[in-house]
Amino acid sequence: MRHGARAYDRDNPDREPFMPLTERGRAEARAFGERLSVPSARLESSPVGRCRETAELVGRGAADSGVQVDENTIRPQLGAFFIRDLDAVVRACYDRGAESVFNGWVRGDATDASLMDPEEAFQQMMRPLVDALREPGGPILSTCVTHDANIYLARARCFQDDAERLGPVLYLDGLVLFHDGADLYAASPELKPRTVRLT
């Protein structure tokens, strides 16, 4: 899922990784956790502060509702590791909008070297998450907090032609990955589950 509502500083794109959650973002993240109705949950996040804070607040809300919550695990693969030129990508997002920039990237429209190959990025991002789904200990909800770019990438690879019908990636928006037997599936509220293939 994407982190909660965050602050922006268009005049200083180099501060992008350090922009915190807003008060609204903090409240909504905690409320999200309070609505979890599972016996136990595991939290994982990007190393970026707003993702870590979202995971912590989701965990507090869940714990307040009686959910057994594991401590947040930081996963570099949930960060925007595929961005090679942060300044160029941030400026493009401000100029054209994140939805346009990242949907273009995952379609293969990007012609510059500011982002790595989307298929390579998808495989690197998904492999540890899928491996974590297979860890022993019975069924558990693993809530992974990441960035809009990661969600655009996952949607495009999991839902293919239907991905852009889902619209922009909103705060706390995401998708669900689950196993049914040996098969891996992705689902969203708007689309039926689809089989996901990893190489």
Interacting residues of 27 by C-beta distance below 8 A, sequence separation 6+: none
Task: Output the pLDDT for position 29.
Answer: 98
The domain of 46 spans 13-195
Q: Is the entire prediction scored with pTM above 0.85? A: yes
For residue 117, give the CATH number of its domain.
3.40.50.1240
Interacting residues of 104 by C-beta distance below 8 A, sequence separation 6+: 110
Residue 45 lies inside a defined structural domain of this protein: yes
What is the average pLDDT score of the chain?
91
Task: Output the pLDDT for position 14.
Answer: 82
E strands present in the chain:
40-45, 68-69, 73-74, 141-145, 176-180, 183-188, 191-195
How far apart (Å, rounded) are the C-alpha atoms in residues 149 and 164? 13
Residue 186 lies inside a defined structural domain of this protein: yes
Tell me the chain's radius of gyration from C-alpha atoms.
16
Residue 122 lies inside a defined structural domain of this protein: yes
Task: Output the pLDDT for position 195.
Answer: 94
Residue 96 lies inside a defined structural domain of this protein: yes
Residue 108 lies inside a defined structural domain of this protein: yes
> In whole angstroms, how far apart are CA 95 and each of 101, 103, 105?
9, 15, 15
Task: Output the pLDDT for position 122.
Answer: 95
- Mean pLDDT score, 170-197: 91
Q: How many domains in the chain?
A: 1
Token pair 């960035």: residue: 147
Residue 5 lies inside a defined structural domain of this protein: no
Predicted confidence (pLDDT) per residue in 77-123, tens digit? 999 999 999 889 998 999 999 999 999 999 887 666 899 999 999 99
Predicted confidence (pLDDT) per residue in 133-157, tens digit? 777 666 678 899 999 999 999 999 9
More confident call, 152 vs 16: 152
Task: Output the pLDDT for position 11.
Answer: 87
How far apart (Å, rounded) are the C-alpha atoms in residues 6 and 11? 16
Task: Output the pLDDT for position 80.
Answer: 93
Residue 79 lies inside a defined structural domain of this protein: yes
